[in-house]
Chain A
Amino acid sequence: MELRFYQQRQSFILDIDATLPDDGAVGVYGPSGAGKSTLLSMMTGSIRPETGRFSIGGECLFDSAQGINIPIHQRRIGMVFQDSRLFPHLTVQDNLNYGFKLLAPKDRRFNLSQILDLLEIGHLLTQKPHQLSGGEKQRVALGRALLASPRLLLLDEPLASLDVRLKRQILPFLRRIKDETHTPMVYVSHAIDEILYLTPQVAMLDKGKILAVGAFNQVIHDDRVLALAHSLGLENVLNVKITAHYPSQGYTAAMAGTQLISIPTVDAAIGSEVSVSVAASNVALSLHRAEGISIQNQLAGTVTSIRQVGSRVLVSVDTGAELIAEITAKALMDMKITQGCKVFCLFKTQGIYAFSST
């Protein structure tokens, strides 16, 4: 998937130049105002960029130089938004069938009953959209988009209007769509945990530019991505598995890779995955396991790289999961830390932010 879009609106310049994988899911992550929705609108064709080119699987949908601009309704790009945009005058069934009926039978990849099973919406068929709950609306919107057999499914903050409980209900459906329908997905969100629940592949967007594309724990090493992550305290995002809750002692135990850590109490079932983040500035390094200290988390690992970014020294440590620690240049010298050193990464339970949505 080749994306090149350029557009200037007053002081905001969108200048996209990236190649995204043609299959699987990729998350587009960026803070509010980074240009995420504008990028999606250009992909669907509802906004025409000043110049650029957009192709999927070798098929060109837009090319300003060649004068190619396939209209929205012929692009076969499905969209699901924060507001479900269901047609209010049609029943759930007619909403679901809307795109399906417009397809030539040979182009239909799914039938209604498959989608009803996948999204568990069979009992809603005769209802009108205004009778549905927020989560049901989003599932119907997903089903409607899938039944139109899109070559690409764009999801624009589809969970943003749902509360935490509903997000947790819908996210597994998104994973099922990805795993069972093999429909390529672009998932746009300002919640990195939602993205990482679905896919490790991310495109980092900031101020109208895609900074990097790749696995999150790889692109984080790009200086510009690191700067963005630093501003958001997201240098370290770990997927951990809940093993036990100790509410009276104020923590939840979880496995980060092969090592046990203590995270703040979260409302998630034992065995489920949650994403947690630790700012690099909250991670300290020690050459030995520290005794007689309140810090609960001490992960053993090996230093894989040391970089100076501006005035910050960032040390990457492979602990099974990768952690980045920010220390001073003086500490680096005093401790004589070099690549390959065995160190312990120390961080307080209270320094961990557990995303609540997964």
Chain B
Amino acid sequence: MHLSPSDIQAIFLTLKLASVVTVILLLLATPLAWWLACTASKTKGIISAVVALPLVLPPTVLGFYFLLAMGPNGIIGGVMQQLGWQALPFTFGGLVVASVCYSLPFMVQPLQNAFEAVDKNLLDAAASLGASVRHRFFSIAVPLSRAGFLTAIILTFVHTIGEFGVVLMIGGNIPGVTRVASVQIYDHVEALEYMQAHALSAVMLVFSFVVLLFIYTLRPAHKNIN
């Protein structure tokens, strides 16, 4: 059982995609989760439903709409064409955009839960000591939500690694550009290369298991520090 150079390439592309998506989502989802945790706005319900959509929709549905939107006649594609930018479908950038949406709930929900668990009285106490909203967030809410951040980051990363349907719909199968590990495995199976499918699948299985084991065994220890 060994990995071919194209398998290695697929693994690295997968890790790159997951890393980029995780970093982008951390920046986008943190304020969104904080807003959802704090707001009394009536739009909270709508926003929460939209955020959760990727959890229930078949990835192909999401991928299909992305394909339409990013195409030359779509909303996003049209604008990009006007600006003279490269069209997104079948590019790494397209994969990143789609994956960010696809993995959004995996970042938002653990963060929102963690933020909601922060004792509001502590934030009030910080305010009475002169801390602005921003300072309260970074000095109190973020450190007290460490466990939530860890969970959100790991789940987003692993979930992005595991995606298949969205990638296939809008990324296609271009080696080194959009051919991630899950697609590579599909290719191997299509070509009846079971041994190679085996090797790559085993790598993903072990990796995912180790990561989840990390979450479920090490996280309680982190919590105790609080």
Chain A residues within 8 Å of B, Cβ to Cβ: 44, 46, 71-79, 81, 83, 85, 87-89, 98-99, 102-103, 144-145, 148
Contacts and interface: CB of A to CB of B under 8 A. Distances in A.
Contact of A76 (B119, B122, B130, B131): B130
Contacts of B130: 73-74, 76, 99, 102-103, 148
A93 to B, nearest CB: 15
Given A81-B121, A102-B135, A87 B126 contact: yes
Contact of A85 (B122, B131, B135, B144): B122
16 contacts: A46-B127, A72-B124, A73-B128, A73-B130, A73-B131, A75-B128, A76-B130, A81-B125, A83-B121, A85-B119, A85-B121, A85-B125, A87-B125, A87-B140, A98-B129, A98-B131
Contacts of A77: 128
A79 B126 CA distance: 10
A72 B125 CA distance: 10
Interface string B185-204: 00000000000000000000
Contacts of A102: 129-131, 135
B122 A99 contact: no
Nearest to A79: B128
Contacts of A76: 130
Interface in B91-130: 119, 121-122, 124-130
Nearest to B133: A73
Contact of A73 (B132, B144, B225, B226): B132
Nearest to A76: B130
Given A73-B132, A87-B140, A98 B226 contact: no
Contacts of B31: none
Decide if the interface of chain B is mainly helix, strand, loop or mixed. Answer: helix
B143 interface: yes
Given A99-B130, A102-B131, A144-B129, A87 B122 contact: yes
A41 to B, nearest CB: 9
Interface of B: 119, 121-122, 124-133, 135-136, 139-140, 143-144, 225-226
B125 A79 contact: yes
B144 A88 contact: yes
B127 A72 contact: yes
A87 B131 CA distance: 13
Given A73-B126, A83-B121, 7 more contacts: A79-B125, A81-B121, A87-B140, A88-B122, A98-B139, A102-B130, A102-B131
Given A88-B144, A88-B226, A99 B129 contact: yes
Nearest to B130: A102
Residue of A72, A85, A102 with highest tally of chain B CB at under 10 A: A72
Contacts of A87: 122, 125-126, 140
Nearest to B129: A99
B40 to A, nearest CB: 13
Nearest to A78: B128
A89 B226 contact: yes
Contacts of A89: 143-144, 225-226
Contact of B128 (A44, A83, A88, A103): A44
A44 B125 CA distance: 10
The 10 A-B pairs with the shortest beta carbon distances in the complex, nearest first, are A99-B129, A72-B127, A102-B130, A85-B125, A73-B127, A148-B129, A79-B128, A89-B143, A99-B130, A46-B124
Contacts of A72: 124, 127-128
A78 to B, nearest CB: 6
A102 B134 CA distance: 13
Contacts of A71: 127
Nearest to A149: B130
Contacts of B127: 46, 71-73
A88 B130 CA distance: 18
A275 B127 CA distance: 36
A78 B128 CA distance: 6
